[in-house]
């Protein structure tokens, strides 16, 4: 065998013929037969002479050099240096051949297994289908995970988090601890936090990538009932009757008597354990409605709560306390698809009657601002979604402020 190896090295082991062996090896790794011609552009004189010695004839002229793999295979076999021909020679010179096609298939299978649990969850929750396609298109998971096994562990933890969303109000650290056994797993900058926040935005009807600021992150988490702490989560209200038995009740009573808006923290609302009684409560989306109502109506303003865009955990807590006290709700928001998503979340949680938030109210307001985003159903007023899709303009709440104030004045 030593003699055969020496002969093989003399035949195909030289530096000037290495390109030919390497081309053959690459074809074998790709599962291709060693047939046809390989070409070397800009061949050196030494490389041309090496091929001529191998073939026993001139190798043409010009700068490019073409060699028939079939000819080389015949030479290797007939010379007796490798009974298996060129394929055997390549293995002996370069070592075992990788099965690139098999490796590619195995890697694809590993990635499929990595996504198995999250894909099962998305199948059960079609509202996440667009987000799942976005994950695939952006390659976000593959950038955050070193390999399929790392991705599988990451996505399994993500599935556990999403199983708890939306929540009725949970601190971020507690959510992380209970789903991942790590209170910091959802801290800003962690891979799981990046994925979970994009999914939270999807559930809230927001752009998956979203804005990168702290306020935007806090709002996205709040939209699915998760708060970063119980002091930064706030709710703005006006005219809510309080009581003289609790700190929060006394704050509300004083603010209502003065006709001033009241800002409550989630901490205060968590410590208020008894229902709030208020009768009919109107809900608006934007703080400008609260400010204008305080200016014009003061103490005469009926109960009014501001959702502040995507409702925070504090907003949800206040609405739950009001609902448990027997309150009913009337809702108004922006006529755009983001506003419809917010209204849908409120309607699903506490129910409401539309407050100038139907098709006729929408069509009555002049506007030329283009409506963008994905259409959504409006179950509280089914014709509204159709009207918005047909008309294609958005109407912000500020445009109907005078009408809203008139309704509040007439109680």
- Tally the residues of the chain: 411
Q: Is pLDDT larger for residue 313 or for residue 352?
A: 352
Whether residue 207 has pLDDT greater than 90: no
DSSP one-letter string for 274-328:
SPPP-SEEEEESSHHHHHHHHHHTGGGPPPEEE--SSPPHHHHHHHHHHHHTT-E
**Exposure pattern of 207-238 as b/e (b: 16+ CB <10 Å)?**
ebebeeeeeebbbbbbbbbbbbebebbbbbbb
Q: Considering its fold, how many domains does the chain have in total?
A: 3
| The domain boundary residue, chosen from 197, 227, 257 | 227
Indicate whether 34 pLDDT > 70: yes
Distance in angstroms (rounded) separating the CA atoms of residues 18 and 39: 13
Q: pLDDT, tens digit, for every residue of 241-293? A: 988 889 999 999 999 999 999 999 988 998 898 999 999 999 999 999 999 99
Residues 212 and 319 occupy one common structural domain? no
User: Is 270 found in the same domain as 214?
Assistant: no
Neighbour-count burial of 288, counting CB atoms closer than 10 A to its CB (0-12 exposed, 13-18 middle, 19+ buried) = middle
pLDDT at 226 over 60: yes
In angstroms, rounded to a whole number, what is the distance separating the alpha carbons of residues 76 and 72? 6
Half-sphere exposure of 10 (CA within 13 A, CB side): 9
Q: Pseudo-torsion of CA 72, 77, 78, 81, nearest 10°? A: 100
Strands 262-265 and 234-238: antiparallel
Percent of the residues in the chain that have a pLDDT greater than 90, as a whole number: 65
Mean pLDDT for 232-241 is 92
pLDDT of residue 189: 85
Domain match, 77 and 130 both: no
Weakest-pLDDT range from 172-181, 207-216, 321-330: 207-216
Look over the chain and give the mean of its residue pLDDT values, rounded to a whole number: 91
Kindly state whether residues 85 and 196 are assigned to the same domain: no
Highest mean pLDDT among 76-80, 187-191, 351-355: 351-355
Residue 309: the pLDDT is: 82
Does residue 367 surpass a pLDDT of 60? Answer: yes
- Domain range for 79 is 2-98
Residues 152 and 46 in one domain: no
- Could you give phi then psi for residue 282, rounded to 5 degrees? -90, 140
Same domain, 215 and 329: no
Based on the fold, state whether residues 302 and 209 are members of the same structural domain. Answer: no
| 62 has a pLDDT exceeding 80 | no
- List, in sequence order, every residue forming a beta bridge with 395; answer none if it has no partner: 335
Decide if pLDDT at 230 tops 80.
no
Position 331 scores a pLDDT of 98
Q: How many DSSP H helices and E strands does the chain contain?
A: 21, 10
Cα(278)–Cα(303) distance, rounded to whole angstroms?
7
Question: Pick from 212, 227, 242: which residue ends a domain?
Answer: 227
Residue 228 has pLDDT above 90, yes or no: no
pLDDT-derived band at 204 (thresholds 50, 70, 90) equals confident
The answer to whether residues 293 and 351 belong to one domain is: yes
Per-residue confidence band for 223, with pLDDT thresholds at 50, 70 and 90: confident
Across the range 61-81, mean pLDDT stands at 88
| pLDDT tens-digit series, residues 73-132 | 999 999 888 889 999 899 899 989 887 888 888 888 899 899 999 999 999 999 999 999
What confidence tier does 3 reach under pLDDT thresholds 50, 70, 90? low
Contact 44, 18 (CB under 8 A): no
Nearest to 34 by CA among 82, 74, 65, 94: 74
**Contact, 333 vs 307, CB < 8 A?**
yes
Distances from the Cα of 227 to the Cα of 51, 232, 240, 293, 399, angstroms: 72, 8, 24, 28, 31
63/74 Cα distance (integer angstroms): 25
Q: What is the rounded radius of gyration, in angstroms, for the C-alpha atoms of the chain?
A: 35
- Region 200-220: what's the mean pLDDT? 83
- 331 and 240 both lie in a single domain: yes
Q: Is residue 65 classed as helix, strand or coil in its secondary structure?
A: strand
The verdict on 262 and 373 lying in the same domain is: yes
Could you give phi then psi for residue 31, rounded to 5 degrees? 75, 20
User: Residue 191 above 90 pLDDT?
Assistant: yes
Burial group, residue 26, by CB count within 10 angstroms (0-12, 13-18, 19+)? middle
Residues 286 and 325 grouped into a single domain: yes
The CATH number of whichever domain residue 256 belongs to comes to 3.40.1360.10
pLDDT at 2 > cutoff 80: no
Please say which residue of 227, 251, 267 terminates a domain.
227
DSSP string, 229-292: -TTT-EEEEES----SSSHHHHHHHHHHHHT--EEEEHHHHHT--SPPP-SEEEEESSHHHHHH
pLDDT in tens, 135-162: 999 999 999 998 999 999 999 999 999 9
Q: Whole-angstrom Cα distance, residue 369 to residue 384?
A: 17
- In the predicted structure, residue 1 carries a pLDDT above the cut 60: no
If asked whether residues 113 and 90 sit together in one domain, one would say: no
Region 174-190: mean pLDDT is 91
Mean pLDDT over 163-185 rounds to: 90
């Amino acid at each position: 065998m030593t003699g055969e190896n020496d002969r093989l090295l003399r035949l195909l082991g030289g530096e000037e013929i290495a390109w030919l062996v390497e081309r053959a090896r690459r074809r074998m790794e790709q599962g291709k037969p060693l047939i046809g011609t390989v070409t070397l552009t800009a061949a050196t004189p030494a490389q041309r002479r090496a091929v001529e010695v191998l073939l026993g004839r001139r190798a043409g002229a010009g700068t490019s050099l073409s060699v028939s793999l079939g000819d080389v295979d015949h030479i290797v076999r007939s010379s007796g240096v490798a009974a298996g021909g060129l394929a055997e020679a390549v293995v002996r010179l370069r070592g075992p051949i990788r099965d690139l096609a098999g490796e590619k298939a195995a890697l694809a299978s590993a990635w499929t297994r990595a996504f198995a649990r999250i894909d099962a969850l998305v199948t059960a929750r079609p509202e996440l289908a667009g987000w799942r396609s976005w994950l695939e298109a952006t390659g976000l998971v593959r950038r955050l995970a070193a390999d399929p096994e790392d991705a599988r562990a990451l996505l399994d933890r993500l599935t556990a988090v999403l199983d708890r969303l939306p929540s009725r109000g949970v601190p971020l650290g507690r959510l992380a601890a209970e789903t991942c056994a790590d209170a910091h797993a959802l801290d800003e900058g962690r891979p799981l936090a990046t994925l979970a926040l994009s999914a939270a935005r999807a559930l809230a009807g927001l752009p998956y990538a979203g804005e990168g600021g702290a306020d935007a992150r806090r709002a996205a988490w709040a939209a699915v009932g998760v708060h970063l702490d119980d002091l930064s989560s706030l709710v703005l209200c006006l005219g809510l009757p309080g009581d003289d038995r609790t700190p929060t009740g006394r704050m509300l009573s004083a603010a209502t008597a003065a006709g001033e808006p009241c800002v409550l923290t989630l901490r205060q609302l968590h410590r208020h354990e008894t229902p709030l009684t208020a009768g009919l409560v109107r809900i608006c989306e934007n703080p400008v409605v609260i400010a204008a109502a305080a200016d014009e109506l003061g103490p005469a303003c009926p109960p009014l709560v501001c959702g502040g865009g995507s409702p925070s955990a504090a907003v949800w807590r206040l609405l739950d306390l009001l609902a448990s006290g027997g309150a009913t709700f009337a809702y108004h928001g922006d006529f755009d698809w983001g506003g419809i998503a917010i209204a849908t979340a409120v309607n699903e949680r506490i129910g409401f009657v539309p407050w100038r938030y139907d098709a006729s109210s929408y069509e009555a307001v002049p506007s030329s601002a283009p409506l963008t985003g994905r259409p959504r159903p409006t179950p509280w007023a089914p014709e509204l979604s159709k009207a918005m899709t047909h008309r294609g303009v958005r109407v912000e709440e500020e445009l109907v402020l005078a009408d809203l104030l008139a309704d509040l004045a007439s109680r």
